[in-house]
Amino acid sequence: MSERLEDIAARMVADGKGILAADESSGTIKKRFDTINVESSEGNRRDYREMLFSAEEAMRNYISGVILFDETLRQKAKDGTPLVEIIARSGAVPGIKVDAGAKPLAGFPGETITEGLDGLRERLAEYHSLGARFAKWRGVISISDNLPSSTAVKQNAQALARYAALCQEANIVPIVEPEVLMDGQPGDHSIDRCYEVTEWVLKTVFAELYDARVMLEGMVLKPNMVIDGKNARKASREEVAEKTVRCLKATVPAAVPGIAFLSGGQSDEEATAHLSIMNASHDVPWKLTFSYGRALQAAALKAWSGRSENVAAAQRAFAHRAKMNGLAASGNWKQELEAAA
């Protein structure tokens, strides 16, 4: 008897836990490794991810799911245990990134469409057999005074809906990720412009999900927060939290079990603070949690620096960030807890 989609989705947004995005593409992980002068070889990538997934305190207490890259889903730890198994043993749900990346949208300069629908049904069947129980697809929406175009919004929403329907057919929970870029070009938009575009994008996405007959109880939404552009930051933490919650209440049906935010260019601490204020100060019908990549890993990556003798220190750094975000997911994070570490 296969597990119900609703049950998997509920595990992904369990109280006080969130999702680790460890699905960096080969290009992105190389950029991350370049910052610590480590070669991005298959072995180094495996060692780094094994170090994260075997960090017992972090994984058991604060991580509900892990998004993997195709290579990682197939890798084994040094002792021969599949990495998927290490994740599952910690109680977290293994997941997989299935999109083929954002490519230029023909005829629309500065905008993208995410590719990867061809052959997706067959790939999902294989990923399920390899142990993945949820998937992720990211639609990228550029924002400026005159972007996005309605074409970019509509086509990305349709692709997300088709992907989500295929996932549910394969008994895999889709994470639906429409990201309005905070750090896009020129990055000088106001928080109100971000609100306007995010509201439009989410309304369009849920209309397409409805048309595609996607079961809302068996999905997780991964949106951006409503925040001003990275070159125009002046909104307070309270304002970001308030406007994000208001926008979600206007667009996201209560049937969706959980919303796991991306950190999207925010600093580690900012992403944590915003999430905590939303949970502490606002009443919402869904679980609000995190699905962070860089904001969970940056400190651990630096501490590790490619050396086996640094594994314990790196795991402590990862456990600290995971704990801070776990507290934020229940509205209990406080600034002074950062200093305590």
| CA distance linking residue 177 with residue 157, whole number of Å | 10
Amino acid identity, position 329: A
Active site residue 177: yes
Task: Please report which helix (H) or strand (E) contains residue 19, including its range.
Answer: strand 18-22
Task: Please report which helix (H) or strand (E) contains residue 11, including its range.
Answer: helix 5-12
Residues in the chain: 341
DSSP summary character for residue 181: -
Active site residue 222: yes
Q: Which residue has the tokens 């990720």?
A: 177
No. of helices (H) and no. of strands (E), the chain: 14, 10
Instruction: Give the CA angle between residues 86, 89, 94 to the nearest 5°.
Output: 65
Amino acid identity, position 315: Q
Q: Which of 24, 177, 179, 208 is catalytic?
A: 177
C-alpha separations of 23 from 29, 73, 94, 260, 278 in Å: 9, 10, 11, 15, 26
Beta carbons of 209 and 174 less than 8 angstroms apart: no
Residue 225 has which token pair? 């927060």
DSSP 219-276: -EE-PPP----TTS----HHHHHHHHHHHHHHHS-TTS-EEEE--TT--HHHHHHHHH
Q: Which of 136, 222, 243, 287 is catalytic?
A: 222
Beta carbons of 172 and 158 less than 8 angstroms apart: no
Amino acid identity, position 112: T
Per-residue burial over 283-293, b if 16 or more Cβ lie within 10 Å, else e, is: eeebbbbbbbb
Residues taking part in catalysis: 177, 222
